[in-house]
Structure 1
Amino acid sequence: MALFQDPLFGFCVIGIATFLLAGECLVKAKGLFGLIGFVLYILYLYSQLTDHSSYWLIAVMAVGVIFVVLDGVLITNGTVAIIGLVSIMLALAVASPSLPYGIGVSVAFWVGLFLSLLLIKTMPARTFWRRLALFDQSTSEAGYNSLNEETKLLIGKTGLTVSVLRPVGTIEIDGERYSAMTNGEWVQSGIEVLVTDVDGTKIVVKPLSIELEK
């Protein structure tokens, strides 16, 4: 266990352990990543604790791991997982033999945590994360489609130019402002325009008078 007294070795061990344990929550590693990561954590804590009165840190770390797992499986809102991650980090840092060592361990913990996100790109993600990604995608698409349908309702309505259209600018319809464009004409501000077409979120208008920007 003498190796664990080297801050660089401890940094690497905690970084790898966190990478594997967090990766177990993100991808289908069949429990192997989680087992190795948890064993590395225990070995680190055991090497740093000098008396039985400090063994409560192992309990704190174990509770933190349980919180992370519970959040990923049951709660899924991230709040309990954050408490768990902070508990694990504190247990590892407090057990370190010196302040610089503890700071290094804390940095290694977060480095390993962020690096574990790369596993989602290379290994099969757990069902929860796939569903979350699909939900976000469908929500974005639904929001875009809803906005597109609302914008199409403007076709045939008239409004006033708030700024000069060159040929893009701002118009106001029923008290709401929109970005709009003409088919190439430059139109002065304060001119009445008619919405002739909507393509996605692009609003096309034409002036109802001949007062064009010169």
Structure 2
Amino acid sequence: MVSGWHAGRTWRLWLSAICVMVAVLGLTAGHAAGAKSYEKVVWVPVEHQIEQGLEKFLERAFSEAETAGADLVILDINTPGGEIGAADAIGQLIRQSPIHVVAYIDNQAFSAGTYIALNANEIVMTPGSSIGAATPIDLAGNAADVKTISGWSEKMAQAAALNNRNTDIARAMVEIDREFPGLKEKGTVLSLGADRAQELGYADQIVANKKELYAYLGVQADRVQEINPTMGERVARFVTSPVVMSMLLIIGLLGIVVELFAPGFGIAGTVSLCAFGLYFFGHYVAGFASWLHIGLFLLGILLMIMEVFLPGGIVGAIGFISIVTGLIMAAYDTQQGLASLGIAALITAIVTFLLIKKYGLKKLFNKFILGDVQRNEAGYVAPKDQRDLLEKTGVALTPLRPAGVVRIDGMRIDAVSVGAFIAAGTSVRVVQVEGTRVVVQEIESKE
């Protein structure tokens, strides 16, 4: 009886040992299977506002990463949001990339930044960082229309579903006028801190810093290659921002208007050309503007200048259309281009009205209409019909040797004598008028 008991105990011990060994081997195998191993890693910053210039930069970054044979891209996201159109294109770029993408949020990924993060394969956050608050807003800073919010909510939900994240949480980050029990009340939008995000499955890991991030990913720091925007791409990102784009158009148009009220070509004209030049340069570097658009703008300027010498208004109208077409076509989006140009045109119209009110229309029209007489200080006096002076008499105000000045009908007239010297104070008569040339002759006194 005792030996049987011992035999049973021995078998139970052996069985327990085998189970423990199997469990250890299983855990080891599972850890080995799940361990990350990346040979070539690329670090790409996603900072500041999300706009079309950022999209072009990321296109280059992902292209270079693929060419270099990278197997991991880390997007260092720190953004308050931006254009949903640009974010949508960036999300598509991430989804279509064959490279594993990790969104590293070390501060904030709001609005459009949230959508970009959701398209990544993993989301890693730092303590104190936040994600969410993705309600689209219009140019006035108010919530967008129902159609836009509904469409963007669906986009967010689809992005969340890519990695099996709760789609209701993504919708709660967008929709204001809807209550999500346990997430948010009606009239608010959802944003998540790092701990809450991890709890709800919107953060795969929380790390303190880059060193811990590399440890989590199994990455050696010396294998990480940073891809940063070039100077041209930084300028393009700045210029293609809707606010900056509108400001450049406002400065450009205002410069033209102020130049019309100022004599000669001065500071206003120079500033205007610089503003338009920066506008086209930024959009050209970003890949939106082409030489065709720049050519249309320059042709329009040329036609507007020609209008000064070719009356009728047709040439000027064609020039205006050419300028507007070039500016709008150079923008990344026709609707945005029209909106920015419309805002600039409205502000320019208000300033033009104020300048006309102060200086009058004559000051403006004198830039386009050649008057009969201009000031002598301008260096030119337009020809005047003086044929009515023929046979009139007057007095020489200065000696004529043979040129001088005479007074006829109370007016000072530049004149020349027939050939002989005429002393000042001598009575003279106009004997010939040829354009601006007035010829006088001394009136001999009768004895």
Using the size of structure 1 for normalisation, the TM-score is 0.52
State the partner residue of 1:183: none
TM-superposition CA deviations, 1:152-201 (whole Å, max 9, x none): xxxxxxxxxxxxxxxxxxxxxxxxxxxxxxxxxxxxxxxxxxxxxxxxxx
Q: Mark the runs of 5 or more structure 1 residues left unpaired by the alignment.
A: 134-214
Give matches, 1:102-117, under 5 Å: 102-114=337-349, 115-117=351-353
Please tell me whether residue 86 in structure 1 is matched to residue 324 in structure 2.
no
- Whichever residue aligns with residue 341 of structure 2, its letter is S
Is structure 2 residue 293 aligned with structure 1 residue 57?
yes
1:95 aligns with 2:330: yes
CA contact (8 A) 2:300 2:319 kept: yes
1:53–1:43 distance in 2 versus 1, CA, 3 Å: closer
Q: What is the deviation of 1:22?
A: 3.1
Aligned match of 1:13: 248
Distance 1:47 1:31 in 2: 25
User: C-alpha distance in 2, partners of 1:60/1:90?
Assistant: 7
Q: In 2, distance between residues paired with 1:52 and 1:93?
A: 11
User: What corresponds to 2:259 in structure 1?
Assistant: 24
**2:324 is the alignment partner of 1:75:** no
Aligned to 2:366: 128
Amino acid at match of 1:100: Q
- Matched to 1:62, the amino acid is L
- Number of residues paired by the alignment? 133
Which residue is 1:42 aligned to?
Answer: 277
Q: For residue 168 of structure 1, what is the aligned residue in structure 2?
A: none
One-letter code aligned to 1:128? N
**Does the aligned pair in 2 maintain the 1:27–1:126 contact within 8 Å?**
no
Displacement, 1:111?
2.1
- Segment of structure 1 superposing worse, 124-133 or 92-101: 124-133
> Deviations 1:25-82 (Å, cap 9, x if unpaired)?
34426432122111111110110124598122112111111111221x2123322212
Over aligned residue pairs, what C-alpha RMSD do you find? 3.1
User: Does the Cα contact within 8 Å between 2:238 and 2:244 map onto a contact in 1?
Assistant: yes
SS in 2 for 1:18: helix
| 3-state DSSP of counterpart to 2:277 | helix
Q: Secondary structure at the match of 1:75?
A: coil
Deviation larger for 6-15 or 121-130: 121-130
Q: 2 CA distance for matches of 1:28 and 1:126?
A: 10
Residues 280 and 289 in structure 2, CA contact (< 8 A), matched pair in contact too: no
Deviates more, 1:60-69 or 1:45-54: 45-54
> Letter of the aligned partner of 2:332 in structure 1?
P
SS at 2:366 equivalent: helix
Which of 57, 66, 70 lines up with 2:302 in the alignment? 66
1:8 to partner: Cα distance: 1.8
Q: Match for residue 166 of structure 1?
A: none
Q: RCO greater where, 1 or 2, for CA within 8 Å and sep 6 or more?
A: 1
Give, in angstroms, the shift of residue 129 of structure 1: 5.3
Inter-CA distance 112–83: structure 2 relative to 1 (3 Å threshold): farther
Distance 1:131 1:81, change over 3 A: closer
Task: Spell out, residue by residue over 1:100-130, the C-alpha distance to the aligned partner (whole angstroms, 9 max, x if none).
Answer: 3212233134225423343234458257259
1:28/1:121 Cα in 2 relative to 1: closer, same or farther (>3 Å)?
farther
Specify which structure has the higher proportion of helix: 1
Tell me, yes or no, if the aligned pair for 2:283 and 2:289 is still in contact at 8 Å: no
Kept in 2, the 8 Å contact 1:18–1:109? The answer is yes
Larger Rg computed on CA atoms: 2
| One-letter identity of the residue aligned with 1:18 | L
> Residue 119 of structure 1 aligns with which residue?
355
Instruction: For 2:240 and 2:289, locate their aligned partners in 1 and report how far apart those are by CA, in whole Å.
Output: 20
Cα pair 1:20 1:116 within 8 Å, conserved? no
| 1:162 alignment counterpart | none
Residues in 1 aligned to 2:276 and 2:323: alpha-carbon distance in whole angstroms = 9
State the alpha-carbon separation in 2 of the partners of residues 99 and 81 from structure 1: 24
Contact 1:22–1:116 (8 Å) recurs in 2: yes
Identical residues among aligned pairs (%): 19
The answer for unaligned runs of 5 or more in structure 2 is: 1-234, 372-447
1:27–1:123 contact (8 Å) kept in structure 2 = no
The structure-2 alpha-carbon separation of the partners of 1:113 and 1:104, relative to structure 1 and needing over 3 Å to count, comes to same
